[in-house]
Structure 1
């Protein structure tokens, strides 16, 4: 396709014109070039103000709660609040790595623990308050507590061994979900436990202590 243009010629008088073809692609290039030549000055000749780039809000980094007294298993640890967005998967951090008997999902464990809310660091339960450890069959506790101790293949979490202390961050899906838990645990709260593993019995025996937070409501009522 071409467009026709004309220019004056020397023949047949001063007003004679000659037609010739101009490729359409050339016209397109000329128009595009003209459109791209934007002026950096205002109509009055002054420099135009730069157009600011849109601001992108920074996503808060996830920082696990700080644990005071992290390695002394004879002292109750002090657990703070988490920072940023809480994790959506099970997260663990070994504060002391145990060397004793490993925990399994079918075992009964004896533990000391402190439980706090991710958002505030408020303690909602602690075995230390009663002055003695708690014993739980792991099949009677919330999934995040059991997997945080015995391990979880899907979350690439290894199990604890006796003598260890571990920080366990439990998302609502592995905790108390939309119904919330007892006390100050509200709907869809992320909760944090610091657990000392004191003993492991190979088979699940007995029942979880009444009122202990990690107990699964369904298991306790089943």
Structure 2
């Protein structure tokens, strides 16, 4: 009787792998079983370059935000806080309206940088930033700013997650990933044969 087989996806293709991963008591390369003799820290999924790229992008964003806020004209920062409710948004709009009118270019640069940073690293609050753009800049200018910022932030989030997300998910949750890939394959086949 043949050993049971599992469906696992690797690099986008279907790969069939026997459940018996060790032969003659030796552990095969790439063994994910609990009996493997290696610890997870020994096979960290990111290369030094990928990890350095992620840290570099994060530090670049933080440094850029810090420099932008240092060069902005002085204001009463005690009244400024990230809005979490509609009432907070109204108070913030009142406090920022005069500042945005007095210093439009530094304010727009600071707003765009903050929005893109929040969108890139999936920090909650971008919906309130979108509403704030409409309240401060009007519907048309606010819409243009929000579309630009959301697109730039989502694109950079996608590239960062493609760079480091896929290896980390494969490392932390290999069984769940295989199950999810098998489910996607079954749904794709079902949809294909429905047409």
TM interval, short-chain normalised: under 0.3
Q: Which has the higher contact order (CA 8 A, sep 6+)?
A: 2
- Which structure has the highest strand share of the two? 1
- Which structure has the highest helix share of the two? 2
What TM-score, normalized by structure 1, do the two folds share? 0.19
